[in-house]
Structure 1
Amino acid sequence: MQQSTPLRIRQQIRNGTFTKPTSGCAPGFVQCNLVILPKEYADDFLTFCQLNPKSCPLIAMSENAGDFTLEILGVDVDIRTDISLYRIYENGELIRETADVKNIWQNNFMFFLLGCSFSFEEALLAENIEVRNISEEKNVPMYKTNISNSPVNDFKGEMVVSMRPLKPQDIERASQICSQFPKVHGAPIHFGNPLDIGITDINYPDFGEAVTIKEGEIPVFWACGVTPQLAIKNAKPPICITHSPGYMLITDIPNTSLRNNIDIQ
């Protein structure tokens, strides 16, 4: 599956034969976090992304209310069906998860696609830096922190981070690699003691799955695109749709286009 094309994986997601998290899938292509909101909330959320580019790096958004595709994303992309697990929020509360949102789609919806750390994992692997969630075939561990985002009206809350354990000698190189990809969170925001950023137990992530941290390894943390889901709980829009953490939209956009903030549009 890891060698499948983005289009083929999207088709398999759409027909229900692929239902897993997407870390390690379609190497070379951009994966995105998703937020769908009613149009009246779109301006505030866009500003929230612009003020918090580390955790909410905007890749693309709807051109018009009601759109469920965008040409730059790739061939036959449908935002309503091409993610293997969605989350539905009502008034800021998570109501359910589902594999398809066509039946609740509204003509006033606007979608936002945010960069995902899965895109820089390929660059780490190319430098022989192990990515533990891939080698253990798990969903990446993600944690709530005590790092505040810049608020925009009711969109506010703390940053979520993803974690990958690294050997001490790999941390500087990993930071150099990831800093070339600011549209997918860029360099790590912290490494070392999880308590420094409010994580009390590294073995129990808030999202995703725990991975092995071997003796001598150091946990390294990156800003994560699950961050908006906490802001949505505070903003309490009547309805909102997101991806489920770890289940991304795989686009036809090459990862190389994200290096050093190249404009893909």
Structure 2
Amino acid sequence: EDALYQKLYASLKNRELATKDRTERNSMFARRYPSHAQEESKKQHDHFSLKAAQSDASVEASRLRRQQHFTELASIMKSSNESRINSASERARHHFATVQGEREGKWSNTRQRFDEIRSREQEQRDQIAEMRIIHSNELSFRGTKNSGSISPTSTLRAQTPGSISYFSNNDDETAKTGAVADRLISRILKAANSGKHRRPSEVGSVFESSNCVSSLNTSPSREKPREIDDNATDKTQI
């Protein structure tokens, strides 16, 4: 380490001495040859000025190159970003269009189901209204009594769908059959209001459970019902 230090110190000392010697020689040369010294000074000044100008030009050229590079890079990034944004927007539009189509399809199916439900409810309401009208007509026909000679046996005859006719010259029997008919029609209306659709066999079971067959003697062995005469005086039609 001491040897290295001594070597470095000697080098610096020699450089300092060389610089000092060169400065002294230049001063002596300038005193001895002033015109030549001025010329050398001017050459050095021009040389350093040229170097400074070249350095400035190099720095400016480098700055322009960097600026152009960053401008091109920004343009590339901008176009790339625009393309990515456009592709992302296109994908988003396609996705939302697909989702909207699926939603519209679901809403259409839901609306169709609701329309079907409404139509069924309207049909049920129409059936109930029709049954109520039939029931009103039956009630309006009940109690009409005229005098005449008709078989005392009560007879049941179906005239039209939903209409039942009773023939009797006995007020008690007429009231009894009317009550049975009321119970039967009430049960039919209750089943219709509850939304249950009975098969014909079930309707028959309802009719039998209402004791209509036992109350209204409808056996085929009985005599056939007589034709209704509009001028007859003892008939009750429900």
Q: Say yes or no: TM over 0.5.
A: no
Work out which of the two has the higher radius of gyration on C-alpha atoms and give 1 or 2. Answer: 2
TM-score w.r.t. the length of structure 2 is: 0.17
Which protein, 1 or 2, shows the higher relative CO under an 8 Å CA cutoff with sep ≥ 6? 1
The structure where strand makes up a greater share of residues is 1
Greater fraction of residues in helix? 2
Q: Name the TM-score, length of structure 1 as normaliser.
A: 0.16
